[in-house]
């Protein structure tokens, strides 16, 4: 049914609700497809920007913590398990983001969750961003206390507030920051590790023999400890969503740039874990060195600022070592926490707007996300880091593996899920049980396993439980429902092709009759209203997301 009349009051309110979202410089395509007209960066710049976001020092702390808890052998195998899982699950997600220029929330909507079903995954992702913002902020505060005698509570506040101005302007500012700071960060991080290998080669044998704080040197590897270590590392599985927040700005893939395009997607997508795993191993290596060679080294072995300070001091005067250690910590913290704050603001804003049909502006949620992280810092999250990360890993894996399974099995093997990702309101059902139920089952049962509800023997294997349930339930529910809950409509009412001759989202534009602006074809849908003379009208996905009355939403197809 279409409406022949138009309520001007309704459309005026709708335009007011989303007008701030149209300020592209500030809002950075928070709720929608990233248009071709905005994606002017090269594949190399996008990849470097994405990889700049993994400059965090949390990997050093994670590697140190799992090594101290479970020994070097178990930690190394756990890191390997973590890397394999990340690569296998991250590839299909990164490809979809770069190919269709949408973030992971928009991918999730059309990959088994539905228009409102992905709200819960946005909350999971937002939780990831403030947990790791707090972890990185804590590391920076430790550096400020050590180098400048700034009390920790004040250091937490400084490390939080300084990020906000950098995040406001989105991808344009972040790309410049990441590209220009990455070379310096790499030199400062790699140099002390190489120095240690050359100057103290005996530290290598000590590293491999380390059995953990409660173990004996040379303690053997056991599967339970390997999986506990992997579970902590796998808390980083949602990092792929932050990589995707950059990858969605990839230029169109063409025969001329195909090799560069694929290299950038693989390296900056699932490839982030290669760098992450290396940092975890280095973090453990430095921790073992501190425990063996530094007085009271065990008390600070899991703190990256002390790890680097001790090595720098072996290379140069104390004042210079201290200066470089603080600079390294500050650069690393800023590089990752602008990404954490940016991605968290996207996730919160997207969920809030979808549920309330009101757009408060991304800056509101930048401040909100940073505030939660600051509370965690003040609560001294380092004291219960393994528990936080181990618990979160179950939620993150349930979500990521479910989406990856839907793409691989349901889209390509079973062909029950549409291959082209759909994210527009009216085209999707509110909730698709395929992904939504699979994720809840995987997360719920694995969390129970993690807290010992099914006994101590299976407790270390909660990450595997989350992965297996998500892998099995996702295709099983798609088969049981015959894929009927993926698309509410197959026709969006627009005759123009969605893709160009190379399979990239079309750059053709259409006029949104609510905002009065032109939007690219993938962002548009026919309105359920008609013009004064009965002509077809079009509305952007952005305007449609803030339509409280639902007057513009097309009816379901039989």
CATH number of the domain residue 347 falls in: 1.10.4160.10
Quick one: 205 exposed, middle or buried, by C-beta within 10 A (0-12, 13-18, 19+)? exposed
Q: Is the pLDDT of residue 330 over 90?
A: no
Residue 474 pLDDT grade (very low, low, confident, very high; cuts 50, 70, 90): very high
The pLDDT score that the predictor gives to residue 499 is: 93
User: Which residues, other chains included, contact 535 with Cβ-Cβ below 8 Å and sequence gap of 6+?
Assistant: none
Exposure pattern of 62-74 as b/e (b: 16+ CB <10 Å)? bbbbbbbbbbbbb
Quick one: 113 exposed, middle or buried, by C-beta within 10 A (0-12, 13-18, 19+)? buried
Q: What is the pTM of this model?
A: 0.83
The pLDDT score that the predictor gives to residue 140 is: 83
C-alpha distance across the termini of the chain, in Å:
13
Averaged pLDDT for residues 480-500: 94
Q: Is the pLDDT of residue 318 over 60?
A: yes
d(CA 285, CA 275): 15
Averaged pLDDT for residues 521-550: 89
459 domain-assigned? no
The pLDDT score that the predictor gives to residue 403 is: 96
DSSP 209: H
Torsions phi, psi for 392 (to 5 deg):
-65, -35
Q: Nearest-CA neighbor of 89 among 414, 467, 389?
A: 467
The pLDDT score that the predictor gives to residue 127 is: 86
Residue 218 pLDDT grade (very low, low, confident, very high; cuts 50, 70, 90): very low
Averaged pLDDT for residues 433-442: 96
In contact, 301 and 291? CB cutoff 8 Å: yes
d(CA 96, CA 247): 9
Residue 219 pLDDT grade (very low, low, confident, very high; cuts 50, 70, 90): low
In contact, 393 and 62? CB cutoff 8 Å: no
Q: Nearest-CA neighbor of 71 among 182, 179, 214?
A: 214
Which range scores top for mean pLDDT: 53-67, 179-193, 208-222? Answer: 53-67
Q: What angle do CA 252, 253, 254 make, to 5 degrees?
A: 110
DSSP 554: P
Residue 80 pLDDT grade (very low, low, confident, very high; cuts 50, 70, 90): very high
In contact, 485 and 433? CB cutoff 8 Å: yes
Quick one: 181 exposed, middle or buried, by C-beta within 10 A (0-12, 13-18, 19+)? middle
Q: Is the pLDDT of residue 213 over 80?
A: no
Averaged pLDDT for residues 211-232: 76
The pLDDT score that the predictor gives to residue 298 is: 78
Q: Nearest-CA neighbor of 58 among 227, 275, 374, 208?
A: 275
**Pick from 50-64, 118-132, 162-176, 360-374: least confident:** 162-176
446 domain-assigned? no
d(CA 52, CA 45): 10
Mean pLDDT of the chain: 84
Q: Is the pLDDT of residue 2 over 50?
A: no
Indicate the pairing of strand 518-520 with strand 509-511. antiparallel
Residue 457 pLDDT grade (very low, low, confident, very high; cuts 50, 70, 90): confident
Q: Nearest-CA neighbor of 98 among 260, 257, 252, 263?
A: 252
Exposure pattern of 207-235 as b/e (b: 16+ CB <10 Å)? bebbbbeebeeebeeeeebbbbbbbbbbb
25 domain-assigned? no
352 domain-assigned? yes
d(CA 60, CA 9): 56
The pLDDT score that the predictor gives to residue 24 is: 45
485 vs 361: which has the higher pLDDT: 485
**Pick from 54-58, 112-116, 231-235, 541-545: least confident:** 54-58
In contact, 140 and 333? CB cutoff 8 Å: yes
In contact, 530 and 4? CB cutoff 8 Å: yes
Residue 74 pLDDT grade (very low, low, confident, very high; cuts 50, 70, 90): very high
Exposure pattern of 478-515 as b/e (b: 16+ CB <10 Å)? beeeebebbbbbeebbbeeebeeeeebbeebbbebbbb
The pLDDT score that the predictor gives to residue 107 is: 94
User: Which residues, other chains included, contact 370 with Cβ-Cβ below 8 Å and sequence gap of 6+?
Assistant: 130, 133, 160, 161, 163, 164, 341
* DSSP string over 228-267: HHHHHHGGGGGHHHHHHHHHTTPPPP-TTTHHHHHHHHHH
The pLDDT score that the predictor gives to residue 217 is: 46
* DSSP string over 294-325: STTHHHHTT-HHHHHHHHHHHHS-HHHHHHHH
Q: Is the pLDDT of residue 214 over 70?
A: no
512 domain-assigned? no
Averaged pLDDT for residues 169-191: 68
The count of structural domains within the chain is 1
Torsions phi, psi for 222 (to 5 deg):
-135, 145
Q: Report the DSSP beta bridge partners of residue 530.
A: 536
> What does the block give as tokens for 239?
């990092």
What is the CB neighbour count within 10 angstroms for residue 204? 14
What is the CB neighbour count within 10 angstroms for residue 526? 21
The pLDDT score that the predictor gives to residue 1 is: 31
The pLDDT score that the predictor gives to residue 309 is: 85
Q: Is the pLDDT of residue 10 over 50?
A: no
In this predicted model, what pLDDT tens digit does every residue of 384-400 receive, in sequence order?
Answer: 666 777 778 888 899 99
Identify the domain containing residue 283 by its residue range: 38-402
**E-assigned strand segments in 441-554:** 509-511, 518-520, 524-530, 536-540
In this predicted model, what pLDDT tens digit does every residue of 276-303 receive, in sequence order?
Answer: 999 899 999 999 988 888 877 777 888 8
102 domain-assigned? yes
Residue 4 pLDDT grade (very low, low, confident, very high; cuts 50, 70, 90): very low
What percent of the chain is modeled with pLDDT above 90?
Answer: 37
In this predicted model, what pLDDT tens digit does every residue of 420-434 receive, in sequence order?
Answer: 999 999 999 999 999
Which range scores top for mean pLDDT: 21-25, 329-333, 534-538? Answer: 534-538
551 domain-assigned? no
The pLDDT score that the predictor gives to residue 9 is: 44
How far apart, in Å, are the Cα atoms of 44 and each of 166, 246, 334? 22, 12, 21
Quick one: 103 exposed, middle or buried, by C-beta within 10 A (0-12, 13-18, 19+)? buried
What percent of the chain is modeled with pLDDT above 70?
Answer: 89
């Amino acid at each position: 049914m279409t409406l022949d009349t138009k309520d001007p009051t309704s459309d005026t309110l709708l335009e007011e609700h989303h007008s701030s979202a149209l300020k592209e410089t500030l809002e950075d395509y928070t709720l929608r497809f990233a248009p071709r007209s905005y994606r002017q960066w090269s594949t190399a710049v996008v990849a470097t920007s994405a990889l700049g976001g993994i400059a965090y020092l949390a990997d050093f702390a994670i590697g140190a913590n799992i090594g101290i808890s479970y020994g070097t052998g178990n930690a190394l195998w756990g890191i390997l398990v973590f890397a394999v899982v990340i690569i296998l699950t991250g590839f299909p997600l990164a490809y979809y983001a770069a190919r269709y220029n949408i973030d992971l929330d928009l991918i999730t909507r059309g990959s088994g969750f539905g228009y409102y079903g992905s709200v819960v995954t946005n909350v999971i992702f937002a939780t990831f961003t403030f947990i790791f913002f707090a972890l990185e902020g804590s590391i920076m505060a430790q550096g400020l206390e050590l180098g400048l005698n700034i009390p920790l509570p004040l250091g937490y506040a400084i490390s939080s507030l300084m990020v906000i101005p950098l995040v406001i302007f989105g991808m344009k500012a972040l790309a410049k920051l990441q590209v220009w700071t990455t070379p310096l960060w790499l030199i400062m991080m790699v140099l002390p590790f190489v120095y240690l290998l050359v100057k103290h080669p005996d530290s290598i044998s000590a590293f491999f023999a380390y059995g953990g704080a409660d173990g004996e040197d040379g303690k053997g590897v056991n599967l339970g400890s390997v999986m506990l270590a992997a579970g902590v590392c796998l808390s980083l599985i949602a990092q792929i969503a932050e990589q995707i927040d950059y990858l969605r700005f990839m230029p169109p893939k063409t025969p001329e740039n195909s090799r560069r395009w694929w290299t950038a997607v693989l390296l900056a997508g699932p490839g982030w874990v290669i760098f992450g795993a290396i940092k975890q191993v280095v973090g453990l290596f430095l921790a073992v060195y501190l425990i063996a060679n530094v007085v009271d080294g065990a008390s600070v072995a899991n703190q990256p600022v002390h790890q680097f300070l001790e090595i720098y001091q072996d290379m140069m005067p104390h004042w210079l070592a201290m200066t470089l250690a603080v600079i390294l910590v500050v650069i690393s913290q800023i590089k990752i926490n602008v990404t954490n704050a940016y991605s968290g603001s996207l996730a919160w804003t997207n969920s809030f707007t979808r549920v309330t049909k009101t757009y408060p502006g991304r800056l509101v949620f930048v401040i909100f996300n940073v505030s939660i992280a600051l509370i965690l810092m003040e609560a001294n999250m380092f004291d219960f880091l393994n528990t936080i990360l181990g618990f979160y890993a179950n939620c993150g894996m349930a979500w990521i593996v479910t989406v990856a399974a839907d793409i691989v099995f349901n889209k390509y093997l079973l062909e029950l899920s549409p291959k082209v990702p759909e994210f527009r309101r009216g085209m999707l059902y509110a909730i698709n049980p395929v992904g939504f139920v699979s994720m809840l089952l995987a997360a719920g049962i694995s969390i129970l396993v993690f807290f010992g509800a099914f006994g101590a023997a299976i407790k270390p294997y909660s990450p595997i439980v989350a992965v297996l349930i998500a892998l099995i339930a996702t295709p099983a529910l798609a088969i049981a429902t015959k894929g009927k809950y993926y698309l509410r409509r197959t026709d969006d009412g627009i005759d123009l092709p969605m893709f160009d001759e190379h399979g990239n989202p079309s750059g053709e534009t259409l006029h949104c009759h609510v905002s009065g602006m032109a939007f690219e074809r993938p962002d548009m849908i026919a309105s359920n209203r008609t013009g004064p003379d009965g002509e077809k009208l079009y509305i952007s996905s952005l305007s449609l997301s803030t339509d409280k009355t639902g007057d513009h939403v097309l009816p379901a197809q039989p």
